[in-house]
Amino acid sequence: MAGLRQVVSINPRAGNETVYNLEVQGEHVYLVGSLGTLVHNNYRVFRAVGVDEYAHALNTGKFSQGKNALMGKWFSDSLEGATRHGDALHGPGKFKILGADITDGTPTFIPPGNNLDGFGPSRYFELDALEGIIPLPIK
């Protein structure tokens, strides 16, 4: 099995279990299962956008620079933060939310205090860092 694969399901287990979150220097991928599938940690971020940016991102399959826009995109670390930001920027119910699955190690800027505009943890990605990252329709 070659190439990237997306996790399509998670099977919760009843009861408590010890789990470990490991971060190692350098290459941090690992093999899973009897086939030895190579996996890597990802995390999802969220962006509140107007309907035009939403449609453009989904139609082109990429994040692009808009007119009079920055050379990158701000994302919230949570759906709730993106929703609060969308309510303030566009008005309640007048925006869409895109998601992006980011691979650990993707270059990003995290603002001092990590609380962009008071809506919670967020981060900024230059457009070249978002190359190959597919916009996901969230809501």
Q: Which helix (H) or strand (E) holds 30?
A: strand 29-32
Confidence band for 20, pLDDT divided at 50, 70 and 90 = low
CATH of residue 67's domain is 3.20.170
Q: Which domain holds residue 45?
A: 41-137
In the 8-state DSSP scheme, what is residue 109?
A: B
pLDDT in tens, 34-93: 766 666 667 899 999 999 999 999 999 999 988 777 889 999 999 999 999 999 999 999
Q: How far apart are CA 79 and CA 62, in angstroms?
A: 20
Q: 72 lies in a domain?
A: yes
Confidence band for 2, pLDDT divided at 50, 70 and 90 = low
Q: 22 lies in a domain?
A: no
Q: 48 lies in a domain?
A: yes
Both tokens of 111, joined, read 């603002």
Q: Domains in the chain: how many in total?
A: 1
Query: In the predicted model, is pLDDT for residue 13 greater than 80?
Result: no
Query: In the predicted model, is pLDDT for residue 119 greater than 60?
Result: yes
Q: 2 lies in a domain?
A: no
Q: 33 lies in a domain?
A: no
Q: 6 lies in a domain?
A: no
List b or e across 27-47, with b for residues whose CB sees 16 or more CB atoms inside 10 angstroms. eeeeeeeeeeeeeeeeeebbb
Q: How far apart are CA 17 and CA 58, in angstroms?
A: 39
Q: 13 lies in a domain?
A: no
Mean pLDDT of the chain: 83
Q: 26 lies in a domain?
A: no
Query: In the predicted model, is pLDDT for residue 5 greater than 70?
Result: no
Query: In the predicted model, is pLDDT for residue 118 greater than 60?
Result: yes
- pTM above threshold 0.85: no
